[in-house]
């Protein structure tokens, strides 16, 4: 009996020794936040003076510099709700695919707690945002605490604790420092942009430290109850899960011959641009009296003569499917899922280079050809780029074609044909909507097809994105197991 007690006491004592300092920090953060909350609530004069003085001083320094404001807005977006929710959601789904339900639950509970605490405390305190002489940005809602600062502290901190084991020991401290710098910069931008006081950010950081500490402590207790050793937090929450949380642990070489691949891609880009430039110049300025001129003249007029308010709305929303935000969202959802399922970076690189090449080829050829828009009413008004080729259509074609190329050979299930259908239906719908709205000629659509076919072909030939399938790589979750994926959440609460 004594031996059993010793076995229990040893990990418990080890746990207590390791977490005593951590508990002190968590309690200190909680007490500090409570004190700051009281001072803000009673409008303590010294704090009021510091907050308003710093807000006005930073506004005087920042507001005259437009490029600096642009940089600050880009940095502050890293702590925005959209980015945070995307990061945590993708991580949770990836962990469930890798059968790491406990870590997924940790991220869900920690993230939901921050989402609940932020609006609740803002409503309780009901503090107005700063008023500065030169407003840089406008944000709705109350000021204390800063939602961006709180969300970034909790989300980036939780993700760091989950994925630290995937890093080599020598990279862990730099990763911790990098996350600290990102969180600090996000908090700084909230004050510099004049949308929060210093105390709003400090309060968010203290609250974030307390909440993240509580959930990490609860997770460590969870491990202790299951007889698992409790590591230092610098090793992450679950060091034994290092292989499963690593993005691509089994991939030895991203590209077999990287230098040759770079030169091949550059040469391919030039060839594709040359083809686009040649076809674009011909249909834009030298196709008089040909079938192409008749097509580009009659089709836009045919669409313009049949416009109705209802179809105007339909074409607007279908056209949005091909804009930058929609394409970026599709890519940012698909790429992490591919990485989680197949543990390979090469398919992700294939999609990323597809979209980067599409954008650069579109901008270069549009500037070189400089084709006017169709001579009908343009429902979208003046555009910053010329007509050839269509960027909306090319982006939609490229992203869905790349997705189909990746998915189709990796499963034998019926739904792989859905992605083939999407690669046809989505760009066709965008093409019709763009021509209906008077923004593109039919030959602009042809230019988008040429761009996609040639550039995706070059990338497929150089990168071989499905080479791992030929080598026998199996997905982390089989297609027939997809319906049972959420069972990992149930398993996460069971005793091992």
Structural domain contains residue 374: yes
Q: Are residues 265 and 224 in the same domain?
A: no
**pLDDT for 399-453, tens place per residue?**
999 999 999 988 888 888 999 999 999 999 999 999 999 899 999 999 999 999 9
Q: Which of 97-106, 221-230, 315-324, 474-483 has the lowest mean pLDDT?
A: 474-483
The per-residue pLDDT for range 91-121, each reduced to its tens digit, is 999 889 888 888 999 999 999 988 888 888 8
**Distance between CA 69 and CA 164 in Å, rounded?**
33
pTM of the model: 0.78
Greatest CA separation for the chain? 99
End-of-domain residue from the set 214, 245, 276: 245
Q: Has residue 301 been placed in a domain?
A: yes
Tally of domains within the chain? 2
Tens digit of each residue's pLDDT (9 = 90 or more) over 52-75: 888 888 877 877 777 888 888 888
Nearest CA to 489 among 196, 102, 124, 158?
A: 102
In this structure, the answer to whether residues 214 and 318 fall within a common structural domain is no
Using one digit for the tens of pLDDT, what is the confidence trace for 316-364? 999 888 888 889 889 988 998 888 888 888 899 999 999 999 999 999 9
Q: What is the spatial distance between Cα 63 and Cα 187, in angstroms, rounded to a whole number?
A: 18
By CB atoms closer than 10 A (0-12, 13-18, 19+), residue 80 is middle
Specify if 365 maps to a domain.
yes
Domain carrying residue 192: 8-245
CA 305 to each of CA 48, 298, 308, 375, 433: distance values in angstroms, whole numbers, following the listed order: 63, 11, 9, 13, 14
Residues 198 and 296 in one domain: no
> Are residues 165 and 206 both part of a single domain?
yes
Q: How far apart are the first and last CA of the chain?
A: 23
**Do 173 and 282 belong to one domain?**
no
Q: Does 263 lie in the same domain as 230?
A: no
Q: Please tell me the total number of residues recorded for the chain in this structure.
A: 496
Same domain, 230 and 85: yes
Nearest Cα to 58, choosing from 155, 136, 159?
Answer: 136
Q: Let me know if 372 is exposed, middle or buried by CB neighbors in 10 A (0-12, 13-18, 19+).
A: exposed
The string of pLDDT tens digits covering residues 253-266 is: 777 778 888 999 99
288/293 Cα distance (integer angstroms): 6
Domain for residue 49, yes or no?
A: yes
386 and 341 within one domain: yes
User: With contact defined as beta carbons under 8 Å apart, do 203 and 145 qualify?
Assistant: yes
Are both 37 and 154 inside the same structural domain? yes
**How is 346-411 classified by DSSP, letter by letter?**
HHHHHHHHHHHHHHHHHHHHHHHH-PPPPSS--TT---SS-SSS-HHHHHHHHHHHHHHHHHGGG-
Does residue 496 fall inside a structural domain? no
1, part of any domain: no
**Domain boundary, last residue among 212, 245, 278:** 245
Asked if 315 and 222 count as a contact pair (C-beta separation under 8 A), the reply is no
Residues 451 and 410 grouped into a single domain: yes
Q: Which of 442, 277, 436 is nearest to 367 (CA)?
A: 277
Give the chain's radius of gyration (CA, Å).
27
Whether residue 306 sits in one domain with residue 208 = no
Residues 6+ apart with CB under 8 A from 307: 379, 436
**Closest by Cα among 309, 349, 331 to 462:** 349
Report if residue 492 sits inside a domain: no
In percent, how much of the chain has pLDDT > 90? 33
- The whole-angstrom separation of Cα 35 and Cα 32 is 5
- Asked if 179 and 282 sit in the same domain, the reply is no
Which residue, of 245, 271, 303, is where some domain finishes?
A: 245
pLDDT recorded at residue 357: 94
In a domain, 490, yes or no: no
Q: Please state, as a whole number, how many other Cβ atoms lie within 10 Å of the Cβ of residue 48.
A: 15
Mean pLDDT confidence for 377-389: 84
The dihedral of CA 486, 488, 489, 490: what is its sign?
A: positive
In 96-168 the beta strands, taken as DSSP E runs, fall at: none
């Amino acid at each position: 009996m004594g031996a059993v007690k010793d076995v229990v006491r040893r990990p418990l004592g080890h746990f207590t020794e390791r977490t005593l300092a951590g508990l002190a920090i968590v309690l200190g953060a909680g007490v500090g936040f409570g004190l700051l909350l009281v001072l803000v609530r009673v409008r303590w004069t010294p704090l009021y003076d510091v907050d308003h003085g710093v807000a006005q001083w930073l506004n005087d320094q920042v507001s005259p510099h437009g490029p600096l404001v642009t940089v600050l807005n880009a940095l502050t977006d890293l702590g925005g709700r959209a980015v945070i929710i995307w990061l945590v959601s993708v991580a949770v789904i990836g962990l469930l695919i890798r059968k790491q339900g406990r870590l997924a639950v940790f991220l869900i509970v920690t993230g939901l707690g921050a989402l609940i605490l932020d609006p609740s405390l803002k409503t309780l305190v009901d503090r107005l945002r700063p008023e500065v002489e030169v407003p840089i940005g406008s944000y709705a809602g109350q000021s204390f605490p800063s939602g961006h600062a709180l969300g970034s502290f909790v989300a980036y901190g939780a993700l760091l604790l989950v994925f630290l084991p995937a890093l080599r020991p020598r990279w862990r401290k730099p990763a911790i420092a990098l996350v600290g710098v990102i969180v600090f910069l996000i908090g700084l931008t909230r004050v510099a942009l004049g949308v929060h006081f210093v105390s709003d950010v400090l309060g968010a950081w203290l609250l974030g430290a307390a909440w993240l500490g509580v959930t990490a402590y609860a997770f460590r207790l969870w491990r202790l109850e299951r007889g698992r050793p409790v590591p230092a937090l610098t090793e992450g929450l679950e060091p034994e899960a290092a292989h499963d949380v690593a993005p691509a642990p089994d991939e030895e070489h991203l590209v077999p011959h990287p230098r040759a691949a770079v030169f091949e891609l550059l040469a391919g880009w030039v060839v594709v641009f040359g083809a686009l430039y040649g076809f674009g110049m011909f249909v834009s300025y030298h196709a008089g009296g040909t079938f192409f001129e008749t097509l580009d003249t009659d089709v836009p007029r045919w669409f313009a003569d049949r416009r109705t308010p209802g179809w105007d709305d339909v074409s607007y929303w279908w056209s949005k499917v091909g804009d930058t935000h929609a394409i970026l969202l599709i890519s940012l959802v698909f790429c992490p899922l591919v990485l989680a399922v197949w543990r390979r970076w090469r398919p992700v690189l294939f999609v990323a280079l597809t979209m980067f090449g599409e954008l650069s080829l579109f901008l270069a050829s549009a500037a070189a050809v400089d084709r006017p828009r169709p001579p009908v009413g343009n429902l979208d008004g003046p555009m910053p780029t010329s007509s050839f080729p269509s960027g909306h259509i090319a982006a939609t074609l490229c992203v869905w074609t790349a997705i189909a190329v990746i998915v189709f050979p990796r499963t034998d299930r019926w739904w792989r044909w859905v992605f083939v259908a999407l690669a046809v239906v989505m760009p066709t719908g965008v093409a019709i909507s763009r021509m209906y709205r008077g923004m593109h000629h039919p030959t602009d659509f042809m230019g988008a097809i040429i761009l996609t076919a040639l550039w995706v072909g070059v990338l497929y030939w150089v990168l071989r994105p499905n080479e791992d399938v030929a080598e026998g790589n199996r997905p982390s979750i089989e297609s027939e197991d997809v319906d049972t994926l959420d069972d990992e959440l149930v398993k996460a609460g069971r005793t091992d």
